[in-house]
Structure 1
Amino acid sequence: MQKDFSEETHTLLVKVAQSLEESRIQEYTQLLHRPWRLIWLNVLSGTARGVGIAVGFTFFAATILYFLQLLGALNLPIIGDYIADIVRIVQRQLELDY
């Protein structure tokens, strides 16, 4: 009985050790002991995220503007009036700023 318990405990501890090793807990604790490296990695990841958002939004906005230009070229009554209203609003806002 005692032998079975110790073997089960050993296999359980081996599984826990393997799962901790797979979770990279050691790398995380080393990173916590080096705060400047942690700050540097966060700055890099934040910059990369910001650039990614900017590029994605630029692509999205360019696509929307392209389709609006195509719709404006078709001279559809409802959409053309809507686009003309947007242009008028933007022009008024620009005149108020100056």
Structure 2
Amino acid sequence: MSRKNKGTKDIDKIDVLSRKMDNIRIAEYIEMLSNPKKLILMNFVMGLIRGIGMGLGFTVLTALFVGALVYLMRGWVNLPYIGKIIAELLEVIETYR
């Protein structure tokens, strides 16, 4: 068997495998569409997971932003008028923690 024929056979096998994998994906998609309860449940769970992830991410980003803001404001408290306003703001933030 020559090298050229062996390479061609390998390419043919890969092509057949690729077609079978595509057919499996199409079959899974059709099966999912034929079962509306499963489709609705899967979409509900995915939406729930995305919502929880966005909520947690937003909470972490907000906490980091407020923490950085508090850190920066503590350094500005020494300024006369701005310091008074920032001190009041910090008291409000500390009250609601």
TM-score by length of 2: 0.60
Aligned to 1:20: 22
The aligned runs of 1:53-64 (5 Å cut-off) are 53-64=54-65
Matched to 1:66, the amino acid is G
| Counterpart residue number, 1:96 | none
Matched residue, 1:65: 66
Q: Count residues in correspondence.
A: 75
How much does 1:20 deviate?
A: 1.2
Percent same amino acid at aligned positions?
Answer: 27
RMSD between superposed Cα atoms in Å: 3.3
Task: Find runs of 4+ consecutive structure 1 residues off by over 2 angstroms.
Answer: 13-19
Determine if the alignment matches structure 1 residue 51 to structure 2 residue 52: yes
Mapped partners of 2:17, 2:42: distance in 1: 31
Equivalent residue of 2:76, what SS?
A: coil
* Counterpart residue identity of residue 20, structure 1: D
The CA deviation at 1:76 is 6.7
Q: Which structure 1 segments of 5+ residues have no match?
A: 1-9, 92-98
Shift of 1:15: 5.6
Give the direction of change, closer, same or farther, for the CA distance of 1:76–1:14 in structure 2 (3 Å limit): same
Write the letter of the residue equivalent to 1:73: R
Deviations 1:15-49 (A, max 9, x none): 66334146x11111100000010000000000000
Structure-1 residue corresponding to 2:39: 38
Identify if the C-alpha distance between structure 1 residues 71 and 16 changes in structure 2 by more than 3 Å, giving closer, same or farther: closer
